[in-house]
Structure 1
Amino acid sequence: MYGTANAYNAYKNNSINYASKEQLLLMLLDGGVKFSKIGRQAILDKDIPKAHEYLTRAQDIFAELMISLDTSAGSWAEQLFSVYDFVKDRLGYANFKKDINVMNEIIPIIEEIRDVWNEAYRISKGSK
Structure 2
Amino acid sequence: MTGNKAYEAYQNNAVNTASGGELTLMLYNGCMKFIKQAKKDMEEKNYEAKNKNIQKAQAIIQELMITLDPQYEISKQMMPLYEFMHHTLTQANIKNDQEKLDQVLEFVTEFRDTWKQVILETRKKQYAKSAQV
Amino acid of the structure 2 residue aligned with 1:8: Y
Report what 1:113 is aligned to.
111
CA shift at 1:104, angstroms?
2.2
Amino acid of the structure 2 residue aligned with 1:62: I
Hey, what's the Cα distance between the residues in 2 that align with 1:87 and 1:71?
Answer: 19
Hey, what's the Cα distance between the residues in 1 that align with 2:76 and 2:54?
Answer: 24
Question: Do the aligned residues in 2 keep the contact of 1:35 with 1:55 (CA within 8 Å)?
Answer: yes
CA shift at 1:34, angstroms?
0.6
Report what 1:53 is aligned to.
52
Hey, what's the Cα distance between the residues in 2 that align with 1:71 and 1:93?
Answer: 27
Amino acid of the structure 2 residue aligned with 1:26: L
Q: Which has the larger radius of gyration?
A: 2
CA shift at 1:101, angstroms?
1.7
Hey, what's the Cα distance between the residues in 1 that align with 2:46 and 2:61?
Answer: 23
Write the mapping of 1:79-94 to structure 2, written as runs, cut at 5 A. 79-94=77-92
Q: List runs of 5+ in structure 2 lacking aligned partners.
A: 126-133
Amino acid of the structure 2 residue aligned with 1:89: H
What is the RMSD computed on CA atoms of the aligned residues?
A: 1.1
Hey, what's the Cα distance between the residues in 2 that align with 1:97 and 1:65?
Answer: 25
CA shift at 1:33, angstroms?
0.6
Report what 2:8 is aligned to.
9
Which deviates more from structure 2 when the two are superposed, residues 56-65 or residues 96-105?
96-105
Q: Does 1:38 align with 2:53?
A: no
Give the number of aligned pairs: 125
Q: Does 1:103 align with 2:101?
A: yes
TM-score norm. by structure 2 comes to: 0.89
Amino acid of the structure 2 residue aligned with 1:31: G
Q: Which runs of 4+ in 1 moved over 4 A?
A: none
Hey, what's the Cα distance between the residues in 2 that align with 1:53 and 1:47?
Answer: 10
Which deviates more from structure 2 when the two are superposed, residues 54-63 or residues 77-86?
77-86
Question: Do the aligned residues in 2 keep the contact of 1:71 with 1:81 (CA within 8 Å)?
Answer: no
TM-score norm. by structure 1 comes to: 0.93
